Chain A
Amino acid sequence: MNLKDAKILISDDSILVRSQLKDILSSMGVSSIIEASNGQEAVERYQEHSPDIVFLDIIMPVKDGHAAISEIKEINPDADIVIVSSVGTQSQLRQAIQLGAKDFIQKPVNSWQIESILNDRFEGGA
C-alpha cells in the first residue's frame, strides 16, 4: 500500500504529542489521520475506522495502552500496533509484545523514528 493512502490512528493523552505526530505524518503525505486521547477512545476509533496502523501511548487515563491493545486485537488479531511511550523498561516492552504490539518508540518522538517505521510498511514514504 502507498503511504498516501494509509489510514493512521494516533492515541495519546497529550494534545501536543498528537499534534507533533500529525505534523510528521502530514509531512510524509499521510492525509487520513484519526485521533484518540485515551485507550477507550482508541478502541472505539479502531472499530469505526479500521486503520492500517496505530501509534499508541501506554500511560493514558480512562483505559491504558495495554488494555487497549488487548481489545483492539480482539477486534482484529492482525492489527498493526506501534507503542509510543516514555517508559521503555524491559518488562513493559515484554508485556506489550506479548499482547501483540509490533514496535516501540521511546519518547520524545523524532521524525526519523516514525519514518523508519512507516517506510518498512508502506511504499512512497518521504
Chain B
Amino acid sequence: MYAQFFGNYLLSKHIVTAEQVIQAMEEQHIRHLKLGTLAIHAGFMTLAQVDNVLMRQSQMQGRRRFGEIAVEAGYLTNEQLEELLNQQIPIYLLIGERLVENGALTETQLEELILSYQKENELLQLENASTHQQNLDALFRNLFLITFSDIPDYLVKYLSLMFNNLIRLIGEDFMPLNPILCQEYITNHCYGQIINGEHSLTSYMDMEEDAAIAFASRFADREFKVCDEYVQAAIGDFLNIHNGLFTVNVSNEDSVELQLNPTVNLENTMLSSTSNILHLPIIYPFGKLNILIKL
C-alpha cells in the first residue's frame, strides 16, 4: 500500500503532477529496481557512495555489475549484497524509478526524496509483517497530521480498511490527496451511511458523473455507459460493503458492536455540519473519489 502514500508525498512536494504519478503507478509493476536505490533505502550505502559506484560503472561502460563494484570498493559486504538481492522490493521505490525513467524526476531528486520520505514518516527500513503494520499506521497518521493532530485509532483503522477495499474492489492505481476539513460540501453523485455505536460516524462517497460511471464499471465488472441508477447503486454498495467489514472487524478485534443504517442516495445535496467534515480526495486515472466523514 506504500505506493499510494509515496505518490501523495511526491505531490505534496510539488515536484511531479498527479498524472505523472498515476502513470508511474500503472507502469511500475513491470519494472525492476536498481540496486543503488535499494542500498540507500536499506541504509547500507550513502548517496555519494552510490554516485561513485555509478560513475565507475559508466567508466567501465557497464561491463561490471553495480553489486560487484560496491563490494570491491568496500561499500557493501557480500552478506549485505545478498540481502539486497533477496529482499522484497518496496513498491514505492519502483514508482520512483518509473518517474525517473519518464523524465519527471532526476536520479538525484529521487534519491533525496526517498531519504526525506523515510525520515519524515519514520519508516522502519527492513520490514517484516509487524513493521509493515507499524509503517502503515505511521503513514496514515502523517497523512492526516495536517488536518488532525490526534486522529482516533478507530478512524485510522477505518481508513486503512478503506484503502484495502479500494485496492481489492476497484484497483490499486489510486493516490490520496491531502485531507481537508470543511463544514459544508455540495455533492454530485453521492451515497451516505450512518454507523451508530461507540465509534459513531457518518461516511459519504461522492464523485462526478464520469468518475461514477468508471467506478461502477470496475466495481461491478460491467461496462456502464451512462450514469443510471445501477451506477448510483454501485457507490452505495461499495460504501455498504466497506462499512459492513469495518463493523465486523471492530466486533472481532475490539468486541465493540456497531449498527449500520441503510445507505442513502444524496445526489446534489448540501452536506453540512456544525463540527468539521473530514474530506479525503482520492485520485484514480478515471477521476476523483471524495470520501467524507462526519465524526
Interface residues of A (CB under 8 A from B): 13-17, 19-20, 59-61, 85-91, 107-108
A89 and B248 in contact, given A15-B229, A59-B261 (Cβ under 8 angstroms): yes
| A61 / chain B contacts, CB cutoff of 8 Å | 262
B251 at the interface (CB under 8 A from A): yes
> Is A16's CB under 8 angstroms from B240's CB?
no
A107 to B243, CA, bound (A): 11
Question: Which residues in B have some Cβ–Cβ distance to A below 8 Å?
Answer: 169, 216, 220, 229-230, 233-234, 236-237, 240-241, 243-245, 247-248, 251-252, 257, 260-263
List, in ascending order, chain B residues with CB within 8 A of A13's CB.
262-263
Q: How distant is the Cα of A108 from the Cα of B219 in the complex, in angstroms?
A: 10
Q: Tell me, in angstroms, the Cα distance from A3 to B130 when the chains sit together.
A: 48
Q: Which 9 residue pairs across A and B have the least CB separation, nearest first?
A: A86-B244, A16-B233, A89-B251, A87-B244, A61-B262, A14-B233, A86-B241, A15-B233, A16-B230
Does A15 lie within 8 Å of B240, measured CB to CB? no
Contact assessment for A86 and B230 in the assembled complex, using a CB-CB cutoff below 8 Å: no
B229 & A59 in contact (Cβ 8 Å cutoff): no
- Given A16-B220, A20-B220, A107-B240, are A87 and B234 also a contact pair (CB < 8 Å)? no
Given A13-B262, A61-B262, A108-B169, A89 and B240 touching (CB < 8 A)? no
What CA separation (Å) do A110 and B247 show in the bound complex?
A: 21
CA distance A31 to B220 in the complex (A): 23
Query: Contact: A86 with B251, CB < 8 Å?
Result: no
Q: Which residues of A contact B220 (CB under 8 A)?
A: 16, 20
Please tell me if the beta carbons of B248 and A87 are within 8 angstroms of each other in the complex: yes
Can you list 24 A-B pairs, Cβ within 8 angstroms, ordered by A? A13-B263, A14-B263, A15-B230, A16-B216, A16-B234, A17-B237, A59-B240, A59-B244, A59-B260, A59-B261, A60-B262, A61-B262, A85-B244, A86-B241, A86-B243, A86-B244, A89-B247, A89-B248, A89-B252, A90-B251, A91-B257, A107-B244, A108-B169, A108-B237
A13, chain B: closest CB distance, angstroms: 6
Q: Is A14 a contact partner of B236 (Cβ separation < 8 A)?
A: yes
Alpha-carbon separation in the docked complex, A107 to B168 (Å): 13
Chain A residue with Cβ nearest B221? A20
